[in-house]
């Protein structure tokens, strides 16, 4: 026997033995999600193919739009791919949307899929029952003609949006009023106060209000007592230590230690002169010059600082009667807001009903 005959037989046997194994690697399955539909309804035919990785699979396209005569293919989905066995095999699936407009029982033949040019079919066919809609011809008056086109009586796109926002706004106002009304804390108000007079202005006014001294010793003593009282009060308010209960030396020492040494010599001389006069051991002949020296000291050491907030405003608790009146007003306002929201909601629904009736 010629040599090429042996080679041909060997190749043919190898191919014949390998073909069942190759074909066994391709699995085609088909499935219907519904086997019975009414005329015009849709069903979904799902085709699944399991192949080795990288094999080329071609699903049927139904180019004429028919699966079989009487069953139409409306749409084919994209192919979905799932990896199996660590990527060695692929499972590809595609869903066909089908329908029919004639009542009958249709047999869908096994779906044929091409893999690397070879044709593979599903193991079985499928049945689809299409039923007609039952019509009672004995009572035709039950069927009415369809409504003709009508114009909408309400254009609601922008109007409905505005009204809806208004409803939510009214509800938010009602909730805020009720929450404020339910507070257990007493109601208060902020009272604006007149700005306080600075210490230097009060001191200068007090000094200028001192009556001039005359020749009598008692009158001069009163004059210096009033002058030193005004200065001690100013020092207390300006430097914040109790100068009214200190001696002259203690005041001077405290001002020196705190670094407030402006016009300290003039103040010391004025206070010491006043001490001598008060104890009737000295007759002062300065007259109004002492007032001028006191005013100069105040102007030299004055500090103009903005008043603290608690000096400009005061919180007062409202009277019980007024609190009850305010709570009554808050409750009435919440009720009106809820009523307005309810009326607007009813109006919106009514207009929508007119539009779609």
Considering the domain architecture, whether residues 178 and 239 belong to the same structural domain is answered as no
Domain assignment present for 73 = yes
Q: Tokens 């071609």 identify what position?
A: 58
Residue range 149-167: mean pLDDT, rounded: 73
pLDDT category of residue 34 using cuts at 50, 70 and 90: confident
Considering the domain architecture, whether residues 105 and 50 belong to the same structural domain is answered as yes
Considering the domain architecture, whether residues 173 and 90 belong to the same structural domain is answered as no
pLDDT attached to residue 243:
85
For the ranges 126-140, 163-177, 284-298, the one whose mean pLDDT is highest: 163-177
Q: Which two tokens stand for residue 26?
A: 């391709």
Considering the domain architecture, whether residues 286 and 213 belong to the same structural domain is answered as yes
Distances (CA, A) of 199 to 204, 227, 238, 239, 271: 9, 15, 6, 10, 19
Q: Compute how many other C-beta atoms are within 10 angstroms of the C-beta atom of residue 98.
A: 23
Domain assignment present for 308 = no
Considering the domain architecture, whether residues 176 and 245 belong to the same structural domain is answered as no
Domain assignment present for 87 = yes
Q: Compute how many other C-beta atoms are within 10 angstroms of the C-beta atom of residue 323.
A: 14
| DSSP bridge pairs for 91 | 50, 82
- Domain boundary (93, 116, 131) is at 131
pLDDT category of residue 20 using cuts at 50, 70 and 90: very low
Residue 3 has pLDDT above 70, yes or no: no
Residue 24 has pLDDT above 60, yes or no: no
- Domain boundary (116, 131, 146) is at 131
Dihedral angle, C-alpha 226, 203, 232, 308, nearest 10 °: 150
Tell me if 146 sits within 8 A of 296, measured CB to CB: no
pLDDT attached to residue 174:
92
Domain assignment present for 136 = no
The DSSP code sequence of 223-250 is HHHHHHHHHHHHHHHHH-S-GGGS-HHH
Considering the domain architecture, whether residues 126 and 41 belong to the same structural domain is answered as yes
Residue range 234-255: mean pLDDT, rounded: 86
Residue 288 has pLDDT above 60, yes or no: yes
Considering the domain architecture, whether residues 250 and 184 belong to the same structural domain is answered as no
Residue range 145-168: mean pLDDT, rounded: 72
pLDDT attached to residue 139:
66
Domain assignment present for 143 = no
Buried b (16+ CB within 10 A) or exposed e, 152-187: eeeebeeeeeebeeebeebbebbeebbeeeeeeeee
For the chain, what is the domain count? 3
Domain assignment present for 36 = yes
Residue range 43-65: mean pLDDT, rounded: 89
Residue 232 has pLDDT above 50, yes or no: yes
Considering the domain architecture, whether residues 252 and 295 belong to the same structural domain is answered as yes
Cα gap 39→44, rounded to integer Å: 15
Q: pTM of the full predicted structure?
A: 0.39
Q: 301, 298, 286: which is closest to 205 by C-alpha?
A: 298
Residue 5 has pLDDT above 50, yes or no: no
Considering the domain architecture, whether residues 223 and 283 belong to the same structural domain is answered as yes
Q: Which two tokens stand for residue 344?
A: 């607007």
Domain assignment present for 239 = yes
Considering the domain architecture, whether residues 162 and 79 belong to the same structural domain is answered as no
pLDDT attached to residue 339:
94
Q: Which two tokens stand for residue 293?
A: 């020296």
Considering the domain architecture, whether residues 171 and 216 belong to the same structural domain is answered as no
pLDDT in tens, 313-353: 677 788 888 888 888 998 999 999 999 999 999 988 887 78
Q: Which residue has the higher pLDDT, 193 or 259?
A: 259
Q: CATH code at 30?
A: 2.60.40.10
pLDDT attached to residue 171:
93
pLDDT attached to residue 9:
54
Domain assignment present for 142 = no
pLDDT in tens, 124-138: 888 889 988 776 666
Q: 262, 197, 270, 263: which is closest to 228 by C-alpha?
A: 270
Structural domain boundaries enclosing 343:
157-190+320-356
Considering the domain architecture, whether residues 40 and 85 belong to the same structural domain is answered as yes
pLDDT attached to residue 21:
44
């Amino acid at each position: 026997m010629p040599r090429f005959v042996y080679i041909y037989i060997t190749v043919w046997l190898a191919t014949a033995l390998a073909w069942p194994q190759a074909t066994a690697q391709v699995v085609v399955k088909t499935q219907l999600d519904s086997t019975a539909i009414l005329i015009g309804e849709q069903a979904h035919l799902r085709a699944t193919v399991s192949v080795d990785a990288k094999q080329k699979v071609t699903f049927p396209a139904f180019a004429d739009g028919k699966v079989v005569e009487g069953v139409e293919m409306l749409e084919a989905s994209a192919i979905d791919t799932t990896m199996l066995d660590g990527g060695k095999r692929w499972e590809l699936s595609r869903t066909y949307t089908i329908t029919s407009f004639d009542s009958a029982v249709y047999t869908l033949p096994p779906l044929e899929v091409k893999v690397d040019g070879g044709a593979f079919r599903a193991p079985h066919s499928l049945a689809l029952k299409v039923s007609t809609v039952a019509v009672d011809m004995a009572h035709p008056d039950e069927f009415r003609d369809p409504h003709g086109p009508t114009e909408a009586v309400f254009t609601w796109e922008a109007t409905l949006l505005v009204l809806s926002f208004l409803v939510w706004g009214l509800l938010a106002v009602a909730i805020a009023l009720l929450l404020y009304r339910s507070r257990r804390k007493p109601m208060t108000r902020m009272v604006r106060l007149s700005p306080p007079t600075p210490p230097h202005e009060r001191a200068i006014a007090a000094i200028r209000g001192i009556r001039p001294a005359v020749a009598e010793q008692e009158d001069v003593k009163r004059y210096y007592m009033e002058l030193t009282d005004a200065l001690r009060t100013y020092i207390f308010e300006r430097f914040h230590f109790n100068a009214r209960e200190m001696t002259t030396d203690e005041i001077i020492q405290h001002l020196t230690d705190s670094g407030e040494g402006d016009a300290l010599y003039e103040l010391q001389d004025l206070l010491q002169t006043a001490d001598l006069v008060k104890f009737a051991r000295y007759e002062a002949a300065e007259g109004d010059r002492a007032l001028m020296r006191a005013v100069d000291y105040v102007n030299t050491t004055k500090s103009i600082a903005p008043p603290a907030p608690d000096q400009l405003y005061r919180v007062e608790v409202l009277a019980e009667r007024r609190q009850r009146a305010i709570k009554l007003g808050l409750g009435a306002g919440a009720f009106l807001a809820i009523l307005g929201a309810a009326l607007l909601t009813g109006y919106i629904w009514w207009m929508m009903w007119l539009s779609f009736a």
